[in-house]
Amino acid sequence: MDGEKKLNRTAQDVEQDLRKYTRQLVDQAERDGLLRSFEPQPGSDYVPTIERLFEGKYIIGTWRRSPYRPAAFPLALMGSMTSMSVTLGTFDQSCVVWRFTLKSPPVDEAFIATMECHELGEKPHGLTADLDLVSDTSRSLEWLVQAYEPFRGDSLDIAVTIRSSIDGRFLCSNESTKKVALLTKHDADIRDAVGNFVWNIAWECSPELSPATGGDLDFLDKYLTETNTDMGMDLL
């Protein structure tokens, strides 16, 4: 009998359920801040040059040169609240939003800037030469930030290398271990037994996403407020 009732459900019933679950998902996403829009918004003349990097907050994603796996979720530079150092995390985790603060004009096309994690406690934490995060941002290392060729190539992304201003070592990432390290170019170029790179040597920065406004949800609101219509067919 129960199976017969299920088979006799109409498309209208299914649509009502879909609206109900869509509303639940939208409400949850709004509470969690998952529905977001880009800021700054790109205009017709918007060009993601490295100078843009010093205008706002960014998520610093890995520039993967190890074997590409389509199913792999993108990783980003993340501050650890337990070790007060850096590691890799996913884009949707906390402590992945950073600000580059320009300290002086570029030298040999490398910009000198400090880096601060903006989701680690009540105030920004600066990144030191030991890859520690400190609340006293005056202890932050000045980093050499230089443009690099695009990886994913999104219209707002900015690809860079990040090097220590003390010894020129590269800020590198290992996606399999989620480790972050400062390495010379020689050490960063090591390969595994089958010839694949072990370390990524560059990063691709994406603007922080700002909370969505009501207008961003117009298409869902319209769907949820439309009058139910019987589509004239039963669910088989």
pLDDT digits (tens, 9 = 90+) for 54-75: 999 999 999 988 766 656 678 9
Provide the domain limits for residue 96: 50-210
pLDDT band at 15 (very low <50, low <70, confident <90, very high): low
What distances in angstroms separate CA 100 from CA 70, 112, 180, 222, 234, one per listed residue? 29, 9, 18, 40, 57
- Tell me the C-alpha distance between 21 and 43, whole Å: 35
CATH number for the domain including 67?
2.80.10.50
Q: Would the pLDDT of 157 be above 60?
A: yes
Q: Would the pLDDT of 100 be above 90?
A: yes
SS (H, E, C) the chain: CHHHHHHCCEHHHHHHHHHHHHHHHHHHHHHHCCCEEECCCCCCCCCCCHHHHHCCEEEEEEECCCCCCCCCCCEEEEECCCCCEEEEEECCCCCCEEEEEEEEEEECCEEEEEEEECCCCCCCEEECCCCEEECCHHHCCCEEEEECCCCCCCCCCEEEEEEECCCCCEEEEECCCCEEEEECHHHHCCECCCCCECCECEEEEEECEEECCHHHHHHHHHHHHCCCCCCCCECC
Indicate whether 4 belongs to any domain.
no
Domain count, the chain: 1
pLDDT digits (tens, 9 = 90+) for 183-207: 999 999 999 999 999 999 999 999 9
pLDDT digits (tens, 9 = 90+) for 160-191: 999 999 999 999 999 999 999 999 999 999 99
Assess contact for 148 and 110: CB atoms under 8 A.
no
Q: Would the pLDDT of 6 be above 70?
A: no
Indicate whether 228 belongs to any domain.
no
Q: Of 162, 201, 206, whose CA–CA distance to 63 is shortest?
A: 201
Indicate whether 36 belongs to any domain.
no
Indicate whether 236 belongs to any domain.
no
In this prediction, residue 234 carries a pLDDT of: 37
